[in-house]
Structure 1
Amino acid sequence: MTDTLLRSLRERLLDESEPLAGMLRKCLLLGAETGSEALRDWARKELNGYGSEDEVPKYRKVGGPPIAMDSISGYTLAKNQIIARHQLPREAWEYVPDEFSFKQPIEELEQLAGQKQLSFASPGLAYAQTIWNGQLDEFQSIINLYYVMSGTVLAGVLGQIRTKLVDLVADLTADTPLSELPKKDQVDAAVSHRIGDVYNTTIQTTNGPVAIGAKAKASTEGLTVEDALRLLDEVQRTAADVADTQRGELLDALAELRASVESDEPDTGEVVKKVGKLRAIVDQLGVASVSAATGGAVQALAELALNGAFG
């Protein structure tokens, strides 16, 4: 099996059309055969995705993509305006990262890389929108902020992973015949040299999204409960755009959610339940400004709740 495994992995690496996922699964087997936890850990994280406490390799990090904006000025609606991060209010910069970490499983990245354009939002952008709207006059409003990115950016990330694999296997087979099993120390050294010590976990503090796709929502890393409550303030501000007959239900749901979050002993289940209720009401309303403001707030609170922020 050793001869078949090494030979198959080496031959498949030379075929550019071979999916990365299959080759990484072979790396899992090779790590098990050689006793290299370093190789198994790296292959497993690439296949399953990196967790919130995992150090993300440099090759999975890219510069922040352009930001698209939908806005209203007077009676004029403008959509898909491209702006740079420095055009946001300075107070919002800390919530809008200049570097992104892609933590998704390799197969998800491969699917996304085939798309012509990706767009996605984040709680950080939602908070930046709140700050910006607070500085505009009553005849101007930012309806939505979201990132846009070409799928070729992810194709570049995948290309780097493929190159890492080629270098890794080349190191393993340079002094070891395909019919023999590399020693554990050889495998560990090759992983450390070509990949880095990414199999050691550390607290991940990089602020950036973890979910990429068509208007996908991103991680709440870097946001606090207080920040999420400010996002709820923005939802309440946009409630003025809702018809009088429907506004009461929205305001009641907001008040209930805020009361649960600000309770002396907030209950995670209650917070999640009320977040779901608010989201359902907003979806039924179908008011763009309210939906945009609510998106970041409800996701931020839901993730904070599920991560134990409310006890």
Structure 2
Amino acid sequence: MPFKRESLLDELEAGVLDDRVSLSAILRKCVVLGGRAGSEKLRDWASLELNGYSGDQDLPEYRRIPAPLFIKVTNFAGYNPIEQQLHGTQIPEPIRDEVDDWECALIFSGVGEVEALVDRNEKSVHLSPSWAGSLVSMLNNVNQTGNSRAAAVYWTVSTAALKGSLSRVRATLATLVAELRASTPDGQALPDKAAADGAVQLIVTGDRNTVTFATQQTEGGGSNTVSIGAGEPDAPKRGWQRWKKPGTVIVGLATIGGTAVGVLTWLDWTPW
């Protein structure tokens, strides 16, 4: 019996079901599969997961992790650090409204970086918001105590939460593969563009782009099978959260810096 080579879709399915295969390796195959199927949507989604999201793109819900926000304060020379949690309610109100959720870590990094963080086997990791540097600078500029300074602002994210996020990426890939299988006719090695685009629409928005297969009669009396897509491929996204671009938050902070003049003293930070 001749050897039957696995298709790229077969390899993708096998990788999703094998926890030993890294998500990065699976996503690279998704990029290639999107190219072969002619699906820009599949290539783009897999590339975002591989290379990371930028501030002007919506993040999937699984990349939004509840996490406490901390600030590290030192004396003016940079010694004797004190770490204290910052609750959203402790932020002065004009500043507080500039961020949708201060205690929610946004994971913009590519999957490979997140996998590397998990592989460090630490209980938790510190992740800096994109606006951390600007917030630290503003606090130091308006601080009038003279004996303390803000050194860093970061989220403390548990490794378990990062593992959970990666697990949801794999589950999303499983849904993608299942949808591709269901919409690809038997005997066809690769999904067509409509099937691939519809599968991405499902995992991104939760909306299924129905693909049916209808038999048409040919002039010679034979038949062929064609795919017909239905639905709205560009329907508004429902399954992804929208929030302000990171990096835009401090635009407003610069104009309301006076409200934070007493922040360090107010929180009773006096490192010596």
| Number of the residue aligned with 2:181 | 173
| Number of the residue aligned with 1:272 | none
From 104, 109, 113, the equivalent of 2:114 is 109
Asked whether the 8 Å contact 2:138–2:254 carries over to 1, the reply is: no
How many pairs were matched up?
218
Larger deviation, residues 104-113 vs 82-91: 82-91
From 66, 79, 90, the equivalent of 1:87 is 90
Distance 2:131 2:54 in 1: 19
Output the TM-score relative to the length of structure 2.
0.64
Q: Does the residue aligned with 1:195 lie in a helix, a strand or coil?
A: helix
In terms of fraction of residues, the more strand-rich structure is 2
Residue 184 of structure 1 and its aligned partner are, at CA, apart by: 1.5
Asked whether the 8 Å contact 2:13–2:177 carries over to 1, the reply is: yes
From 43, 47, 53, the equivalent of 1:44 is 47
Distance 2:98 2:147 in 1: 22
- The 3 A distance-change label for structure 1 pair 163 and 139 is same
Distance 1:84 1:123 in 2: 18
Q: Which amino acid aligns with 2:92?
A: P
| Number of the residue aligned with 2:31 | 28
Asked whether the 8 Å contact 2:71–2:150 carries over to 1, the reply is: no
| Number of the residue aligned with 2:167 | 159
- The 3 A distance-change label for structure 1 pair 184 and 96 is closer
Q: Which amino acid aligns with 1:4?
A: S
Q: Does 1:6 align with 2:9?
A: yes
In terms of fraction of residues, the more helix-rich structure is 1
Instruction: Report matched runs for 1:222-233 at 5 Å.
Output: 222-224=249-251, 227=254
Larger deviation, residues 30-39 vs 126-135: 126-135
Instruction: Report matched runs for 1:293-304 at 5 Å.
Output: none
Asked whether the 8 Å contact 1:70–1:143 carries over to 2, the reply is: yes
Residue 104 of structure 1 and its aligned partner are, at CA, apart by: 1.3
Structure ID, larger Rg:
2
Residue 207 of structure 1 and its aligned partner are, at CA, apart by: 4.8
Residue 103 of structure 1 and its aligned partner are, at CA, apart by: 1.7
Larger deviation, residues 168-177 vs 133-142: 133-142
The C-alpha deviation readout for 1:210-252, integer Å capped at 9, x for no partner, is xxxxxxxxxx332239829x69xx9xxxxxxxxxxxxxxxxxx
Residue 132 of structure 1 and its aligned partner are, at CA, apart by: 6.2
Asked whether the 8 Å contact 2:7–2:190 carries over to 1, the reply is: no
The C-alpha deviation readout for 1:83-133, integer Å capped at 9, x for no partner, is 422223334324555144322111111112334222244574455557767
| Number of the residue aligned with 1:185 | 194
| Number of the residue aligned with 1:196 | 205
Gaps of 5+ in 2: 207-232, 235-241, 262-270
Distance 1:21 1:178 in 2: 28
Larger deviation, residues 34-43 vs 142-151: 142-151
- The 3 A distance-change label for structure 1 pair 224 and 135 is closer
Q: Does 1:60 align with 2:63?
A: yes
Gaps of 5+ in 1: 209-219, 235-288, 290-311
